[in-house]
Chain A
Amino acid sequence: MKNFVFVGFLLLINIYNVLGQCTGSIHGHVYKKKGKVSLANVVAQIPSINLETISNEQGEFLFEGICEGSYFLRVFKDDFDTLWINAKITNKTLHFHQDIFLETPQEALEGIEVLQKKDAPISSQTQYYLSNAELEASRGKTLGEMLKNIAGVNSLNTGGGISKPMIHGLHSQRVLILNNGVRQEGQQWGEEHAPEIDPFASEQVAVIKGAAGVRYGSDAMGGVVVLNPKPLTTSSKLSGKAYLIGHSNGRMGNLAFQMQKAFGKGWAWNFQTSTKKAGDFHTPTYILSNTGMQEFNFSGTLGYTKENWNIQGYFSRFDSEIGILRASHTGNINDLALSISRPQPWYVAPFTYNINNPRQRIVHYLGKINSEIKLDHIGVLSFQYAFQDNSRREYDIRRGGRSNMPALSLVLQSHNLEAVLEHHAWRNFRGSFGINTLYQTNYNVPETGIVPLLPNFTNFTQGIFWVERFIKPKYDLEWGVRYDYRHTQVRTFIQNRTYIKPNYQFNFITGTIGYSYFPNDSFTFKTNIGATFRPPHTAELFSQGLHLGIGNIQEGLLFENGFLNSQKDFSIEQSYKWVASLTYKHKNWTLDVHPYYNIINNFIYLTPTDIRLTIRGTFPVFNYVQDNITMQGIDITSIYKIGKWGWQSKFAYLKAHVQASKDALINMPPLRWENKFFFEQKKWKSLENVEIFATLLHISKQSNAPRVISPTVFENITSEEQTTILAGGNFDFMEAPNGYTILGVGLQASYKNFTFSSRVENATNLVYRDYLNRWRYYANDLGRNYIFQLNYKF
């Protein structure tokens, strides 16, 4: 009967056609939102004129002979949410077309929970998100500390204020931070250089633990930290959030707020700012003098969205000043020896908010403009241009009134240009092509009166990539390839003040292959192998200097016996990383098991090569050298709930060694096991989302650490002793600190628009040192810390 009516209408339309009245058409291409695969047998109706059709095998449907006017289309299929679409046929636009994405109710729910989970750039790698609760609870902390919520992620700390994210033991130039879609370009090479990012600006924080070099280039070999702000709102009502946070340790205060609004036709803006002030932090028994910090950051977006394209401009400024523990500023190895022997640092003063030398002052600007164009039948084309200006000044304790002059003053400017085409499914294939260009200059501001640690350089990188997936309902196959060209020019002086401008060119190919299997709703298996090649950073090639605080001389790959040879041979680092993730969800239990195996050939790392007598004393010399290494480990996350009670457990273990010598690598994360026990009550009197919890974090002693050579042996060292020390490979000046277990407790509740939480960290005020804290030679780690947090949403 229905068909009869339909045929009747067609006849009617044909008549109109003959009369030359109605020649418009409405064409749709229906995709499944998840996977962007074409959907056949989707019903499309125009109820007002009683038309109905279904999509063909390619997911397309067509109504012809439509008169001018405005129509509402209803598009639906079993198991998917029904969609209404407005189509206008005018004499100018007779042929209406739209790509239509249907989603299942389940997907829609997930989307609400953590904004919209974006597709991982490489789908066979799991993107691990911080849950909303974890994100909110770690507000006010450094990015590195925040990311520790994800198993397998650690941070390499320099005291309480500087922390670098570490994924599976790799950090700095081997981990990419993607801030609002832009690769963060700062002075990542320094172990005491934290990422110049305001964590308050991110509403979505995720980590990719696999090698994503294919999509982002060489520095994504160890993984990617993905930070995204809230997407622009479509609501014309002003909304936002405010935070007030206080920490007892360091008497730290945070104030942050964020707001957004849509206006006009398709316009929207958002703005966010945060400020932080902390004084000296303290251990259970003494003050860590000169460890205060302050920050003031802001960012804003203005965007314009039309049906088929959008454009956004973004600007942010990050400004931070961080004090460096006074007692960690050492002149030579004897100072280090004395520091290790002392029960507490030699300099302990009463609490103050003042930040004195040594200190760091960092200002980072990011400006970007990006646009997306939806191309019917093809996919989405996006462009992005980003500019970053990073200024880092480090102040030391100096003689002759020079303390106001920075000892290091670097300006790094980076331009990034990217164009990516993400194509919709064609048969069972889906993927993206793209190019990205990076141009950067590193410049030493001549205000230091010190020979720079890192020379001036310019760096140009051009990359082109292609990632493609073959999608089936129960499995995906994925492969990708990337080609990079890099040109680096360094401008520096060699020993006798001769000016040199060596050039280096690199051509390298990166590849990935992956497989995902999802037989049912409760089980997912993903595995991926990524090959990433990375040319050495200029710092790894050219840096030379005395490392205050670590008591050694560090020299780049191009140094031979203390002399620079810019023609010296070196190799590109080649990493092969295999990751797998098995996720199992059953009723109250979620389990994620994530093993990995990473081989890095020509891995660049510091190892002792000489012992050198200078006017400042005797120093071990650590050179960057290259060796093949192996890293293997496993991360496990489990969440189990019974009624209102829950237990969350995160375990991570890594073992790393140099292949030939079997030597351990320094600063590799020890075994970490974190447990959280919680009780949740959705509603209690007028309070909502009441939660009480306790956390127990266990860090084992790093048993796989390099041998220990006490710094005292260097003072009157004989040449035989020197030979013995140097023959034995890598060493550390101090034994790895003992393992420890710390307890935390807390509670949280919401009342109307307010959320209040209160926590105690290191509740037992345990005295401990952490292997991944570079101040472990000088001082104990942080003592008990009470945190109070108040959020207001409007």
Chain B
Amino acid sequence: MKMKSFNKLTMFLLAGTLFLGACKKDDPAPVNEQEVITKVTVNFTNTANSSEVVTFTYEDTDGVGGNAPVINNGILKRNTSYNVSVIVTGEDNEDITAEIAEEKDEHQIYFGFSQSNLFSSFEYSDKDSKNQPVGLASRVTTVNSSGGGDLQLILAHEPNKSLNIASTPWVYDSKIGGEQDFNITFKANIQ
């Protein structure tokens, strides 16, 4: 009797070890990142001449990896009005701009620049459903002197737009919160 139950136990344990081999998973497939932003393109279109487009690009294909981002800075004309559009792209040229436009209430692109060295005026040209800015489209006027300065763009996800500064809604203030999906800085020259 004792021996019999012992055998049963051995059988069970053996069954357990057989099971070990049975659950090996297949080789995994590489993941296509759906969400990672790899490239930001900023187009400045002269309002007086729509064929005159100045393009800035910021490309970082490996995300957090060890390759440094590739940055292309443009040269803007002094005392000129531009329509600014921001195009956001993901892996395999995925169009993330459309996603941002679709979730415009939860997104805003904030701009950092000097009003004395870069843009003398800035206004958003797009609005979300609550009449708050989004930032995919905007209009700027460059200062009337050559030189230029840093141009920072921050895409905030789920910011509290109601806390935007009324006079300068493009400035990212710490109270606004949310997460920064991108935070990039160009060197904008003015000639």
Known: A334-B180, A615-B63, A615-B182. A415 touches B174 (CB 8 A): no
- Which has the most chain A C-beta neighbours within 10 Å: B6, B28, B36, B38? B28
CB distance A341 to B174 under 8 Å? yes
CB distance B67 to A562 under 8 Å? yes
CA of A544 to CA of B66, assembled, Å: 11
CA of A680 to CA of B154, assembled, Å: 62
**Residues in A whose Cβ lies below 8 Å from that of B37:** 615-616
Tell me, rounded to whole Å, the shortest Cβ–Cβ distance linking A407 to chain B.
9
Tell me the A670-713 residues at the B interface (CB within 8 Å). none
Q: What number of residue pairs across chains A and B have CB atoms under 8 A from each other?
A: 161
**Residues in B whose Cβ lies below 8 Å from that of A501:** 27
Dominant secondary structure at the B interface: mixed
**Residues in A whose Cβ lies below 8 Å from that of B102:** 400
CA of A562 to CA of B12, assembled, Å: 47
**Residues in A whose Cβ lies below 8 Å from that of B65:** 495, 544, 562-563
CB distance B25 to A415 under 8 Å? no
Q: Which of A311, A327, A402, A417 has a CB less than 8 Å from the CB of B17?
A: A417
Q: Which of B31, B35, B175, B182 has a CB less than 8 Å from the CB of A346?
A: B175
CB distance A614 to B180 under 8 Å? no
Query: How many residues on chain B are close to A (CB under 8 Å)?
Result: 60
Q: Flag whether B52 is at the interface (Cβ < 8 A).
A: no
Q: Which of A385, A441, A452, A559 has a CB less than 8 Å from the CB of B24?
A: A441
CB distance B58 to A446 under 8 Å? no
Known: A341-B174, A451-B33. A400 touches B181 (CB 8 A): no
**Residues in A whose Cβ lies below 8 Å from that of B160:** 346-347
**Residues in A whose Cβ lies below 8 Å from that of B5:** 309, 311
Q: Which of B31, B107, B177 has a CB less than 8 Å from the CB of A450?
A: B31
Q: Flag whether B69 is at the interface (Cβ < 8 A).
A: yes
Q: Looking across the interface, which residue of chain B has its beta carbon closest to that of A407? A: B35
**Residues in A whose Cβ lies below 8 Å from that of B181:** 331, 399, 616
CB distance A327 to B177 under 8 Å? yes
Q: Which of A341, A613, A615 has a CB less than 8 Å from the CB of B40?
A: A615
Q: Flag whether A263 is at the interface (Cβ < 8 A).
A: no
Q: Flag whether A118 is at the interface (Cβ < 8 A).
A: no
**Residues in B whose Cβ lies below 8 Å from that of A461:** none
CA of A309 to CA of B9, assembled, Å: 12
CA of A330 to CA of B38, assembled, Å: 19
CA of A335 to CA of B27, assembled, Å: 37
Q: Encode B16-40 as 1/0 by CB contact (under 8 A) with A.
A: 1101100111011111111111111
Q: Which of A458, A493, A548, A561 has a CB less than 8 Å from the CB of B30?
A: A493
CB distance B66 to A561 under 8 Å? yes
CB distance B9 to A329 under 8 Å? no
Q: Looking across the interface, which residue of chain A has its beta carbon closest to that of B184? A: A615
CB distance A546 to B9 under 8 Å? no
CA of A147 to CA of B160, assembled, Å: 40
CB distance B176 to A415 under 8 Å? no
Tell me, rounded to whole Å, the shortest Cβ–Cβ distance linking A759 to chain B.
35
- Which has the most chain B C-beta neighbours within 10 Å: A341, A369, A387, A451? A451
Tell me, rounded to whole Å, the shortest Cβ–Cβ distance linking B83 to chain A.
24
Q: Encode A540-574 as 1/0 by CB contact (under 8 A) with B.
A: 00001110100001000001011100000000000
**Residues in A whose Cβ lies below 8 Å from that of B182:** 615-617
**Residues in A whose Cβ lies below 8 Å from that of B59:** 615
Q: Flag whether A308 is at the interface (Cβ < 8 A).
A: yes
CB distance B157 to A397 under 8 Å? yes
Q: Flag whether A62 is at the interface (Cβ < 8 A).
A: no
**Residues in A whose Cβ lies below 8 Å from that of B6:** 309, 373
CB distance B30 to A497 under 8 Å? yes
Tell me, rounded to whole Å, the shortest Cβ–Cβ distance linking B14 to chain A.
10
Tell me the A589-616 residues at the B interface (CB within 8 Å). 612-616
Q: Encode B100-124 as 1/0 by CB contact (under 8 A) with A.
A: 1011000100000000000000000
CB distance B35 to A399 under 8 Å? yes
Q: Flag whether B42 is at the interface (Cβ < 8 A).
A: no
**Residues in B whose Cβ lies below 8 Å from that of A449:** 31-35
Q: Flag whether A32 is at the interface (Cβ < 8 A).
A: no
Tell me, rounded to whole Å, the shortest Cβ–Cβ distance linking A753 to chain B.
39
Tell me, rounded to whole Å, the shortest Cβ–Cβ distance linking B154 to chain A.
8
Q: Which of A331, A387, A492 has a CB less than 8 Å from the CB of B179?
A: A331
**Residues in A whose Cβ lies below 8 Å from that of B154:** 334
**Residues in B whose Cβ lies below 8 Å from that of A383:** 9, 13
CB distance B64 to A545 under 8 Å? yes
Tell me, rounded to whole Å, the shortest Cβ–Cβ distance linking A228 to chain B.
22
CB distance B35 to A450 under 8 Å? yes
Known: A399-B96, A417-B16, A446-B31. A562 touches B66 (CB 8 A): yes
Q: Flag whether A413 is at the interface (Cβ < 8 A).
A: yes
Tell me, rounded to whole Å, the shortest Cβ–Cβ distance linking A737 to chain B.
21
Tell me, rounded to whole Å, the shortest Cβ–Cβ distance linking A88 to chain B.
15
Q: Flag whether B165 is at the interface (Cβ < 8 A).
A: no
Q: Looking across the interface, which residue of chain A has its beta carbon closest to that of B19? A: A415
Tell me, rounded to whole Å, the shortest Cβ–Cβ distance linking A418 to chain B.
10
CA of A373 to CA of B9, assembled, Å: 11
Q: Looking across the interface, which residue of chain A has its beta carbon closest to that of B158? A: A397
CB distance A400 to B60 under 8 Å? no
Tell me the B47-100 residues at the A interface (CB within 8 Å). 58-60, 62-69, 96, 99-100
Q: Flag whether A342 is at the interface (Cβ < 8 A).
A: yes
CA of A544 to CA of B178, assembled, Å: 24
Q: Flag whether A448 is at the interface (Cβ < 8 A).
A: yes
Known: A373-B6, A449-B35, A491-B28. A415 touches B16 (CB 8 A): yes
Known: A415-B16, A450-B31. A331 touches B180 (CB 8 A): yes
Tell me, rounded to whole Å, the shortest Cβ–Cβ distance linking A532 to chain B.
26
Tell me, rounded to whole Å, the shortest Cβ–Cβ distance linking A313 to chain B.
10
CA of A346 to CA of B174, assembled, Å: 8
CB distance A308 to B69 under 8 Å? no
CB distance A451 to B31 under 8 Å? yes
- Which has the most chain B C-beta neighbours within 10 Å: A311, A341, A546, A614? A614
Known: A385-B13, A400-B35, A553-B64. A335 touches B69 (CB 8 A): no
Tell me, rounded to whole Å, the shortest Cβ–Cβ distance linking A438 to chain B.
10
Q: Which of B19, B27, B38 has a CB less than 8 Å from the CB of A615?
A: B38
Q: Flag whether A793 is at the interface (Cβ < 8 A).
A: no
Given contacts A399-B181, A400-B34, A615-B39, 20 further A-B contacts (CB under 8 A): A329-B179, A331-B179, A331-B180, A331-B183, A334-B180, A338-B174, A338-B177, A347-B160, A383-B9, A399-B107, A400-B99, A437-B17, A458-B24, A495-B62, A561-B66, A562-B66, A612-B64, A613-B68, A614-B60, A615-B59
22 sampled A-B residue pairs with Cβ under 8 A: A329-B179, A331-B157, A397-B157, A399-B99, A399-B103, A437-B17, A444-B28, A448-B31, A449-B33, A456-B28, A491-B28, A495-B65, A499-B30, A559-B66, A561-B66, A562-B67, A612-B66, A614-B69, A615-B40, A615-B182, A616-B182, A619-B64
Residues of B that sit less than 8 Å from A by CB = 2, 5-6, 9, 12-13, 16-17, 19-20, 23-25, 27-40, 58-60, 62-69, 96, 99-100, 102-103, 107, 154, 157-158, 160, 174-185
